[in-house]
Structure 1
Amino acid sequence: MKKVTMFVWNHFTNDARVNRECTTLAERGYEVDLIAIDDPKNPVISAYEEISKSFRVHRVKRYPWMLQAYQDHGKKFLLVVAGVQVAIIPSLFFISFTLMAAYFMSLVLAAGMIKIKKMRKWFINGAIITRMIVKGYIQNADIYHANDLNTLPQAIVCSKLRLKPKPLIYDSHEVQSDRTGYNKERIKRIESFMLKFVDQMIVENHTRASYNEEIYGFYPKTLYNYSEKYDIHTKPKINLHHKIGINEDEKILLYQGGLQQGRGLELLIKAMDDIEEGHLLFIGGGKLTQELKNLSKNSSEAHRIHFLDKVPFQELPSYTREAYLGFQVLQNICFNHYSASSNKLFEYMMAHVPVISCDFPEIKKVVNETKTGLVVDPHNAADIARAVNKLVKDEALRNSLSENTKHAKEIYNWNNEKAKLIDIYDEFAPLTSKAILLNIN
């Protein structure tokens, strides 16, 4: 069997896209090893996980031993280290002043890495990258696959710094050169340089592929972020109303996903002042979690706003199906948002939940063509409230949109999209018919 090594810069607990890609390749007949990051705060996940006989996850340690000891023991660790140094440094003075000075400087650097946030981040990320490279290199895979720019250096080293270089696929889930919180020009220079080592690039949709052609001069492959196809009625039922403490007849207005900047989440809370019926529920976590909770507490509709922690992607459909409608109201704060065709839209569709969506090209096209929701101005809380009120007052309209999702999901699903991924892989490392048949059987 041909071997694939993938890299992803997360814990691989909620990455549905990467899971779909790895599972597809494993089912095709490839041996897939995914290298992710361990989470010492999460006892549920392990350093090694076997998803199937052909799909394994390797999680490298997040913290160097010194930082991990500091995380675990805090001041006690520092006191022990200080005590040891009282004995070591005077001894080194009698051996060599230069040696003592060098040792002392290394201690200062170590202290900086522990106490100075920016230095600590660089040190931690450097350790993660090094461990990923070591783990990936010894895999000696037939194909290497980097998910997003922050794993591309690791994949370049593992695939190209060899006597016989291996094919490298760069799967960019985001528009790296135009995202919030990133220096556009610097990222563009970095990505442009690294693309010289890439054999094939994948982006999420044709809007992003056209943008890529404008700035880099070539049109990459597209792989839409469609949800896995399933029958929502086969998913386990949960009593979501009970979980958030509301009556069974109340309507749940759902946002699921990361609580991050530029997703219109503050406006959803503001819109609740004008939304006449229903309870707003956020399922997920992120940098805005506490800020959103504070906003909701200060809202006159605080009793109708609820939060649940993120749910593993395998369990999420059971929560989604309980919603009356779902929100996908990204804001146009960068091209990455404007060009998105995010998985959330198709997760709602697969669970037969109508959507209130932003009016950006990729998302608007799907919603309008399939008649599975209402399109709004995502920067206007009043427009969002108007659309919600239209659906909560007109259950016949809502049910019609829900019925349309049953037809739309026959088109917009991973079963129809995954052949494109298989074609890309088979181009670089074609499997024998025997290997494919053995895996199927």
Structure 2
Amino acid sequence: MGFYFYYCKKIFNLKRVLVTVTNDLSTDQRVDKVCTTLLNDGYRVLLIGRKLKNSIPISRDYKTKRIQLLFNQGFLFYAEYNFRIFLLLFFSKKDILLSNDLDSLFANYAVSVLQNKKLVYDSHELFPEIPELVHRPFVKKFWSSLEKLLLPKLKNTYTVCKSIADYYNERYATNFKIVRNLPTFKKVEVGKLPFSMDDKKIIIYQGALNIGRGLELMIDAMEYLENHLLIIAGNGDIYTNLKERSKNKLTENKVHFLGKLLPSELQKITPLADIGLSLEEDLGLNYRYALPNKIFDYIQAEIPILVSNLPEMKQIVIKYKVGEIIKLRTPQALAYQIQTMLKNEYSESILKAKQELTWDHEKITLQNIFKNLK
């Protein structure tokens, strides 16, 4: 009986962490790894996101909650989301709030101040610098002003790479730590593509289909690549435009769109490729400082990578010798570089990087942040 009361007391004394995101939870691998790490470290975790029309059921070891909104884009979406999240957080039991990205920060900050709760902030990107805001100065100014108002007041912060951490620390005199979005170590498990490969070389892009990802350039380059196939796994704003471009360039038989896949599905598709792409354009600071998690997913799948000549991603290639940095952003030059890459050998370097670039190593920084909250 004594042990039973001790166990119950221990369970009820666990610190509660409420984690908020604006996505629908299903494909956010970074937040899932953070929540799982906190759960394994003895926290009681509730992850809160959105429920969309196409949201698939999820099952996690920690608790999840999805809220359905009336508005799903624009100012009304952000206003409704933060209002709903504020009420939910305010009236829920919690010890720690974990806000992911600027679009969820206002509600979290308000609750933390009103109820004197610890607040942790995970910045996945330079939100005001995303390409979608380049030609929307009023909206960009709003997010920049919110960032300028709130970030200097935060005490427990981390982000995805050194460049963003340095930017925030210099601009706002903050103390952002670095927790890269590294995958867990995975043994290669190969699946099947929904079409015939016919001994062709496979080039893969996985991730969001948005402006500035270099996908138009890659589709154009397929004109100059015989016996090659391009797989695009993901969805986004320019999905239809990319399909139309492939059709107009007469490369549609060389380009296959798989749509948005679950991480478990994608992990079996990626190892089938010969090269993984991350060709982001330098469209502002957010892309310039990008360190996409797909780079590390390619490494776990044991395939070489071709990346843009941007500081964070090229540093991975230089340090670990796991691929190449794009030299010229023209279709012909890109096609030639891919052909040259396929003649080179990267296996030994990739296997070494695969062992080192894992969440098991990276999560130590996260654990230290939560152990020493201010």
- State TM-score, norm by structure 1: 0.77
Separation of aligned partners in 2, 1:378 and 1:198: 41
1:315 shift after superposition: 2.5
Separation of aligned partners in 2, 1:124 and 1:375: 38
1:248 shift after superposition: 4.2
1:60 alignment partner in structure 2: 67
Separation of aligned partners in 2, 1:378 and 1:144: 45
1:210 shift after superposition: 1.4
Residue 17, structure 1, aligned to residue 24, structure 2 = no
1:157 shift after superposition: 2.4
1:410 alignment partner in structure 2: 355
Residue number among 154, 158, 161 corresponding to 2:107 in the alignment: 154
SS at match of 1:315: helix
Q: 1:176 to 1:218 in 2, by over 3 A?
A: same
Q: Cα RMSD between the aligned structures?
A: 1.9
Write out aligned runs for 1:286-435 (5 A): 286-377=236-327, 379-392=329-342, 394=343, 397=344, 400-428=345-373
Q: 1:38 to 1:157 in 2, by over 3 A?
A: same
Separation of aligned partners in 1, 2:128 and 2:168: 10
Contact 2:232 2:258 in 1 (8 A): yes
Any gaps of 5 or more consecutive residues in structure 1?
65-116, 430-441
> Residues 4-44 of structure 1: CA distance to partner in whole angstroms, max 9, x if unpaired?
111101001111111111111111111111110011333x3
2:9 alignment partner in structure 1: none
Q: 1:192 to 1:299 in 2, by over 3 A?
A: same
1:382 shift after superposition: 2.8
Write out aligned runs for 1:11-410 (5 A): 11-42=24-55, 44-45=56-57, 51-52=60-61, 55-63=62-70, 121-162=74-115, 165-182=116-133, 183=137, 184-232=140-188, 235=189, 237-240=190-193, 243=194, 245-377=195-327, 379-392=329-342, 394=343, 397=344, 400-410=345-355
1:301 shift after superposition: 2.3
Separation of aligned partners in 2, 1:50 and 1:283: 23
SS at match of 2:45: strand
1:196 shift after superposition: 4.4
Q: 1:126 to 1:190 in 2, by over 3 A?
A: closer
Tell me whether 124-133 or 263-272 shows the greater mean CA deviation. Answer: 124-133
Residue 4, structure 1, aligned to residue 17, structure 2 = yes
Which of structure 1's runs of 4+ aligned residues deviate more than 4 A?
A: none
- State TM-score, norm by structure 2: 0.90
Tell me whether 151-160 or 192-201 shows the greater mean CA deviation. Answer: 192-201
1:277 shift after superposition: 3.0
Any gaps of 5 or more consecutive residues in structure 2?
1-13
> Residues 233-280 of structure 1: CA distance to partner in whole angstroms, max 9, x if unpaired?
xx3x3211xx0x223422211001000110100000111112233101
Separation of aligned partners in 2, 1:337 and 1:196: 23
1:420 shift after superposition: 0.4
Who wins on radius of gyration, i.e. which is larger?
1
Count of aligned residue pairs for this structure pair = 356
Separation of aligned partners in 2, 1:377 and 1:32: 45
